[in-house]
C-alpha cells in the first residue's frame, strides 16, 4: 500500500535513532585526557574485588548536582570530592579513571540501586543511618558533615537552629536535612535542587536554606558575597560508601583503602583539589568497622 | 507493615494537598478554558488570534517549565504569593487549552440548526452562545473534560518539585526517611492516585457511552 | 465549524471599526506588558547587601559563548529525542498488542486486559518511572522508556481499537471469505487501514509522549530540562538560572511546535477524501480520542451481539 510508506519511513527513522541510543549506552562521553597509569593488582578468587579487577570496570553511583562533592559539568564526567574518593578506590582495584562508569544516584534510588546491583558502590553524600543499614552496608565514614544554615549575608537575626523554629526554611525533597527541619519545628519548604532554594531565600519567602554544611559552602562560594553560612553544624552526618548488605569482605577492603589514603596523603590531595577550594581541610573520621 | 501504617497520616496530608491542587486548578481551568473557547469563536479577529496563540504556546510548553516560570520568574517580577497559589496558576495555565479544546469540540457537536434558529429569532452572539449553544455543548463536553481532570490529577505531581508538598513529594520524603520499605511506600502512593483517577475514568467512559448513542 | 458565521452577523462598518480598534488596543497592551516585564527583569536587584545585575546582563549569559556548553545542551536534546523515538516505537507495538487483546473474543483475555489498561492509564507517569527504576533496576533510560511505552501504549491501543471499529465491516468479511484466519485478517487487512485512518491522532499522542520525556528528571535521566536546569545550573551556579531557563524554553517550543505542525499537516494529507465527507477533526483535540473510543466500544458490542463469525467456524 502506497500510503503506508510515510508511516513506515517515520518508524524506520525512529528505529535508527533507537539503535543509536542502544549503541551509545547510558553514560555520556569519556574523558579526552589520558588518565594516570594504574597497576594491575591481584585479589583472592571469588571476592568482589577480584571480579571488579577482572572486569576492568566499576560502576559508581554519585550525585550529579551537589556542588563540591558530585557535580556533572559539560565535560560529561562528574567532578567533586566523592568522585575523587571513587577514583582512589578504583585505582586500588587496578581500574583507571576513564574506565569508571558513573551513574547518577538520586536520593530515592540509592538503596535500590545497590540492592539490584545496578551500581557496585555508592559515593553520593550518603549519610549512614540505622534504617539504611538494614538494607545496605556502609564502608567509612570518609567525611563528617553536619547540617548547617545559609542566610543572606546581611541577615544577623539567625544565628543557630533555634532561630529557625516556626520559620520557613528551604531544603531538598527526600533528604535527611529536610526531615531534621521538620523535627526541630521549622517549616520545611521543599524543592528538587539546592540551587532552586536560593531564589526563595533571595526574595524573602524563606529565611534560610538548610542542608549539609559542605553543600552550603559550595552555594555560598558560587554566589560571592550574597550569602553566608552561620552557626555550628547541629547534626552529625557521616558520609559513607554504600555497598551490598552481605559483602563484608568488600566493605573491609574499602575501609583498608580509606585508611591507606588517609595516611599517604591522597585523601588530603583529593580534598584540596575539590572541596578544599572553599572549605578547610579537617582530619578524616576513622572508618567504622561494624 | 507497622511502619507503613504509621506513615499513613503523612500520606493523607499529601493526598489532601493533591486534592486541593486538583479541585482549585480544575475549577479555575474550567473558567479560563471557557473564556478562551468563547474567544476562539468570537467575532473579533484579535480575540480569536490571541486565543489561538495562547492555546498553541500553552499546549507546547512542558509543565515543568511552566512551573519554573511561576515559582521563580513571577516572584522576580514582584508577584509575592504563597507557593501553592503559584502552583494553582501554573496548573490552571497548563490545563486551560485542553479545556478550551474539549469545549470547542462540544460546541462543534451541537447541530448547526440550533444556532441558526437562535439567530433567526434575533438573539445576538453572546445570547446565542450562553443560552442555546453552551448548555447543549456542555453535556457532550463532560466526558472529555473528565479525561482532562484525570490528566490534571497526575500533573499535580510535578508541583512537588516546586515548594508544594503534595502526595508525590511526600512519597519521596518518606522513601528517603524509610530506606527499608521504599517499594511499599511507592505502591501506597500509586494506590492513592488510582483512587482518584480510576473512578473518574469509569465515569467518563459510562457518560460517553450513554451520549454517543444519543448522537 | 463553518457555523462561526452563524453565531453573529457579518460585521458592518461600525463593527469592523470597533474590531480594528480592539485589535490595536490589545496589541499595544500586550506589547506594553512584554516591555514592562523585560524592564523589571533587567533591573539590578539588592540581595544580601550586594547588588546583583539584571537578568539580561552579559555576565548572566557569558557561558553560552562556550561551545562545550552547547555540546552539553545538544546531548540533552539528543537524550530527549532518543528516549522519545524508542518509546514511540515501543508504544505503537504495544498499542497493537493491547488492541488485539482488548478486542479478543476470549473473555479471560479481554477483561483482565481492560483492567490492566485502566490501571496503567490512571497511574502518574512520574510514579511509574520511579517504580520501574527501583523495582526492575533498568537504569534511567529504560525506566523512562518503559514507563512511557506502557502509558502511551494503552492510549494508542485505544486509538487503534477505535480505528478498527470505524472500518467498513466488509473489509473483515472479505478477508475472512478468502480464507484468512482471524489474526491474519487483523494484521494484513484491518490494522494497516486503521493505522492510516488514525494516524493524525496517533502522531498527536506521540507529541505528548515527547513532552512527557521531561518527566524523566525524576529518575535522573539527563533530558533537556534536567541537563540544563539541574546539571548545568548546579555546575555554573544560580546566576545563570534565568538564562538557562530561557534557552530551555525556546528549545522545547521549537521542537514541540514543529511536531504539532507536522501532526496537523499529516492530518490534512491523509484525510480520506473518498465518498464520505469526513470532518477533519483537529488531531490535537483530546476529545477526539474519547469519542473514537466510545464508538469502538459500541461497535465491539454490536458486533458481538450480531454473532458475526459464529457460522464460519473460526469464532470471534
**Domain CATH code at residue C193:** 1.10.3720.10
pLDDT, tens digit, for every residue of A192-244? Answer: 888 889 989 988 889 999 998 888 888 888 888 888 888 888 888 899 999 99
Cβ–Cβ below 8 Å for C234 and A112:
no
Task: Using CB atoms, pick whichever of C45, C71, C218 lies closest to residue A74.
Answer: C71
- Spell out the domain ranges in chain B: 2-214
Report cis status (omega within 30 of 0) of the bond before A141: yes
- Sheet of A136-145, strand order: A100-104, A58-62, A121-127, A237-244, A136-145
Task: Using CB atoms, pick whichever of A135, A200, A203 lies closest to residue B180.
Answer: A135
A282 CA: distance to closest CA in chain C (Å): 25
**Residue C62 included in any domain:** no
Task: Using CB atoms, pick whichever of B75, B163, B180 lies closest to residue A203.
Answer: B75
Identify the sign of the CA torsion A72, A77, A82, A84: negative
Report yes or no: C218 and C130 within 8 Å, Cβ to Cβ: yes
ipTM over 0.85: no
The answer to whether residue C253 neighbours chain B at the CB level (below 8 Å) is: yes
Counting residues of chain B whose pLDDT is more than 90, the rounded percentage is 32
Read off the pLDDT of each residue in B75-95 and give the average, rounded to a whole number.
Answer: 91
Classify domain B2-214 by CATH architecture: Orthogonal Bundle (1.10)
Strand partners, C52: C45
Q: What are phi and psi of C47, to 5 degrees?
A: -155, 130
**Residue C281 included in any domain:** yes
Instruction: Reply yes or no on whether the pLDDT at C274 is more than 50.
Output: no
pLDDT, tens digit, for every residue of A118-140? Answer: 889 999 988 888 888 888 999 98
The answer to whether residue B41 neighbours chain C at the CB level (below 8 Å) is: yes
C166 CA: distance to closest CA in chain A (Å): 18
**Residue C274 included in any domain:** yes
Report yes or no: C152 and C160 within 8 Å, Cβ to Cβ: no
CB hemisphere CA count around C256 (13 angstroms): 24
- Shortest CA distance from C135: residue in chain A: A112
What is the model's pTM? 0.82
Task: Using CB atoms, pick whichever of A17, A104, A195 lies closest to residue C233.
Answer: A195
Q: What burial class does residue B80 get, using C-beta atoms within 10 Å of its C-beta: 0-12 exposed, 13-18 middle, 19+ buried?
A: exposed
pLDDT at B212: 62
pLDDT at C305: 52
Among the listed ranges A19-33, B43-57, C126-140, C290-304, which one has the minimum average pLDDT value? A19-33
First to last CA, chain A: 70
Domain of residue C122, residue span: 67-306
The answer to whether residue C214 neighbours chain B at the CB level (below 8 Å) is: yes
pLDDT, tens digit, for every residue of A164-200? Answer: 888 899 998 878 888 888 888 888 899 888 888 998 9
A266 CA: distance to closest CA in chain B (Å): 32
- Shortest CA distance from C298: residue in chain B: B209
**Residue C13 included in any domain:** no
Which candidate, B30, B9, A26, B31, places its Cα nearest to that of C79? A26
pLDDT, tens digit, for every residue of A236-290? Answer: 889 999 999 888 888 999 999 999 999 988 999 999 888 888 788 888 888 888 8
Read off the pLDDT of each residue in B87-93 and give the average, rounded to a whole number.
Answer: 95
- Shortest CA distance from B185: residue in chain A: A108
Cβ–Cβ below 8 Å for C118 and B143:
no
Cβ–Cβ below 8 Å for B208 and C22:
no
Question: Residues, chain A, total?
Answer: 290
Proportion of chain C in helix, strand, coil states, percent, rounded to 5: 80, 0, 20
- From the candidates A18, A114, A117, A222, which should be mutated to test the interface with C, based on the most C CB atoms within 10 A? A18
**pLDDT: is C137 or B42 the higher one?**
B42
**Residue C59 included in any domain:** no
Report yes or no: C41 and C242 within 8 Å, Cβ to Cβ: yes
Read off the pLDDT of each residue in A29-57 and give the average, rounded to a whole number.
Answer: 68
Residue identified by cell 486534592 is B19
Cβ–Cβ below 8 Å for B73 and C260:
no
Instruction: Reply yes or no on whether the pLDDT at B102 is more than 50.
Output: yes
pLDDT, tens digit, for every residue of C82-108? Answer: 999 999 999 999 999 998 888 777 888
Cβ–Cβ below 8 Å for B62 and C11:
no
Report yes or no: C213 and C141 within 8 Å, Cβ to Cβ: no
The answer to whether residue C17 neighbours chain A at the CB level (below 8 Å) is: no
**Residue C55 included in any domain:** no
Residue identified by cell 539527563 is C222
- Shortest CA distance from A174: residue in chain C: C218
Structurally, chain C folds into a number of domains equal to: 1
Amino acid at each position: 500500500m502506497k500510503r503506508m510508506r510515510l508511516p513506515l519511513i517515520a518508524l524506520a527513522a525512529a528505529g535508527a535513532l533507537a539503535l543509536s541510543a542502544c549503541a551509545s549506552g547510558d553514560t555520556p562521553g569519556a574523558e579526552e585526557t589520558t588518565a594516570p597509569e594504574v597497576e594491575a593488582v591481584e585479589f583472592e578468587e571469588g571476592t568482589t574485588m577480584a571480579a571488579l579487577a577482572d572486569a576492568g570496570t566499576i560502576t559508581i553511583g554519585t550525585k550529579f548536582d551537589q556542588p563540591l562533592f558530585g557535580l556533572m559539568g559539560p565535560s560529561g564526567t562528574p567532578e567533586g570530592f566523592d568522585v575523587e574518593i571513587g577514583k582512589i578506590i578504583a585505582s586500588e582495584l587496578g581500574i583507571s579513571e576513564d574506565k569508571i562508569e558513573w551513574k547518577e544516584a538520586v536520593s530515592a534510588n540509592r538503596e535500590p540501586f545497590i540492592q539490584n546491583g545496578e551500581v557496585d558502590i555508592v559515593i553520593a553524600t550518603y549519610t549512614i543511618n540505622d534504617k539504611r543499614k538494614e538494607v545496605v552496608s556502609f564502608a567509612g565514614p570518609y567525611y563528617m558533615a553536619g547540617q548547617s544554615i545559609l542566610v543572606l549575608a546581611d541577615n544577623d537575626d539567625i544565628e543557630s537552629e533555634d532561630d529557625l523554629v516556626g520559620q520557613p526554611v528551604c531544603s531538598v525533597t527526600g533528604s535527611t536535612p529536610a526531615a531534621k527541619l521538620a523535627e526541630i519545628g521549622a517549616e520545611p519548604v521543599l524543592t528538587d535542587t539546592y540551587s532552586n532554594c536560593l531564589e526563595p531565600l533571595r526574595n524573602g519567602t524563606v529565611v534560610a536554606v538548610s542542608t549539609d554544611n559542605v553543600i552550603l559552602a559550595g552555594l555560598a562560594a558560587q554566589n560571592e558575597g550574597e550569602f553566608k553560612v552561620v552557626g555550628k553544624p547541629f547534626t552529625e552526618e557521616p558520609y559513607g560508601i554504600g555497598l551490598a548488605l552481605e559483602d563484608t569482605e568488600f566493605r573491609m577492603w574499602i575501609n583498608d583503602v580509606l585508611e591507606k589514603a588517609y595516611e599517604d596523603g591522597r585523601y588530603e590531595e583529593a580534598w584540596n583539589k575539590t572541596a578544599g577550594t572553599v572549605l578547610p581541610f579537617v582530619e578524616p573520621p576513622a572508618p567504622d568497622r561494624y | 507493615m507497622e511502619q507503613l501504617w504509621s506513615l499513613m497520616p503523612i500520606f493523607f496530608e499529601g493526598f489532601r494537598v493533591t486534592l486541593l491542587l486538583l479541585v482549585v486548578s480544575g475549577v479555575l481551568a474550567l473558567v479560563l478554558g471557557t473564556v478562551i473557547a468563547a474567544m476562539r469563536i468570537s467575532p473579533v479577529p484579535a480575540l480569536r488570534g490571541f486565543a489561538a496563540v495562547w492555546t498553541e504556546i500553552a499546549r507546547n510548553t512542558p509543565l515543568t517549565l511552566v512551573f519554573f516560570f511561576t515559582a521563580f520568574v513571577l516572584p522576580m517580577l514582584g508577584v509575592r504569593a504563597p507557593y501553592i497559589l503559584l502552583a494553582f496558576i501554573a496548573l490552571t495555565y497548563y490545563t486551560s487549552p485542553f479545556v478550551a479544546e474539549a469545549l470547542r469540540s462540544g460546541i462543534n457537536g451541537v447541530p448547526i440548526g440550533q444556532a441558526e434558529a437562535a439567530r433567526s429569532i434575533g438573539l445576538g452572539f453572546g445570547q446565542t452562545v450562553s443560552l442555546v449553544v453552551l448548555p447543549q455543548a456542555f453535556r457532550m463536553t463532560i466526558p472529555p473534560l473528565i479525561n482532562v481532570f484525570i490528566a490534571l490529577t497526575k500533573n499535580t505531581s510535578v508541583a512537588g518539585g516546586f515548594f508544594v508538598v503534595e502526595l508525590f513529594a511526600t512519597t519521596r520524603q518518606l522513601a528517603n526517611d524509610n530506606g527499608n520499605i521504599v517499594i511499599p511506600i511507592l505502591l501506597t502512593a500509586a494506590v492513592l492516585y488510582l483512587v482518584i483517577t480510576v473512578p473518574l475514568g469509569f465515569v467518563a467512559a459510562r457518560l460517553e457511552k450513554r451520549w454517543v448513542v444519543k448522537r | 465549524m463553518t457555523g462561526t458565521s452563524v453565531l453573529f452577523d457579518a460585521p458592518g462598518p461600525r463593527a469592523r471599526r470597533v474590531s480594528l480598534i480592539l485589535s490595536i488596543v490589545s496589541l499595544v497592551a500586550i506589547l506594553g506588558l512584554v516591555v514592562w516585564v523585560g524592564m523589571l527583569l533587567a533591573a539590578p536587584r539588592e540581595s544580601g547587601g550586594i547588588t546583583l545585575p539584571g537578568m539580561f546582563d552579559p555576565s548572566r549569559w557569558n557561558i553560552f559563548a562556550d561551545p562545550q556548553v552547547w555540546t552539553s545542551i545538544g546531548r540533552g536534546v539528543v537524550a530527549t529525542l532518543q528516549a522519545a523515538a524508542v518509546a514511540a516505537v515501543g508504544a505503537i507495538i504495544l498499542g497493537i498488542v493491547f488492541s488485539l487483546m482488548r478486542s479478543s473474543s476470549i473473555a479471560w483475555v479481554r477483561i483482565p486486559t481492560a483492567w490492566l489498561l485502566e490501571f496503567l492509564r490512571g497511574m502518574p507517569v512520574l510514579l511509574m518511572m520511579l517504580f520501574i527504576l527501583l523495582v526492575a533496576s533498568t537504569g534511567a533510560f529504560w525506566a523512562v522508556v518503559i514507563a512511557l511505552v506502557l502509558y502511551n501504549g494503552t492510549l494508542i491501543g485505544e486509538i487503534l481499537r477505535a480505528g478498527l471499529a470505524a472500518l467498513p465491516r466488509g473489509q473483515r468479511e472479505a478477508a475472512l471469505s478468502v480464507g484468512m484466519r482471524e489474526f491474519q485478517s487483523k494484521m494484513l487487512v484491518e490494522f494497516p487501514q486503521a493505522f492510516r485512518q488514525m494516524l493524525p491522532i496517533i502522531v498527536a499522542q506521540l507529541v505528548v509522549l515527547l513532552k512527557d520525556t521531561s518527566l524523566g528528571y525524576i529518575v535522573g535521566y539527563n533530558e533537556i530540562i534536567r541537563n540544563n536546569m539541574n546539571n548545568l545550573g548546579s555546575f555554573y551556579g544560580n546566576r545563570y538560572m534565568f538564562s538557562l531557563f530561557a534557552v530551555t524554553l525556546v528549545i522545547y517550543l521549537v521542537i514541540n511546535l514543529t511536531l504539532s505542525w507536522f501532526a496537523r499537516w499529516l492530518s490534512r494529507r491523509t484525510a480520506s477524501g473518498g465518498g464520505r465527507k469526513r470532518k477533519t477533526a483537529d488531531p490535537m483535540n483530546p476529545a477526539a480520542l474519547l469519542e473514537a473510543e466510545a464508538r469502538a466500544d459500541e461497535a465491539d458490542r454490536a458486533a458481538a451481539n450480531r454473532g458475526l463469525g459464529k457460522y464460519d467456524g473460526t469464532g470471534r
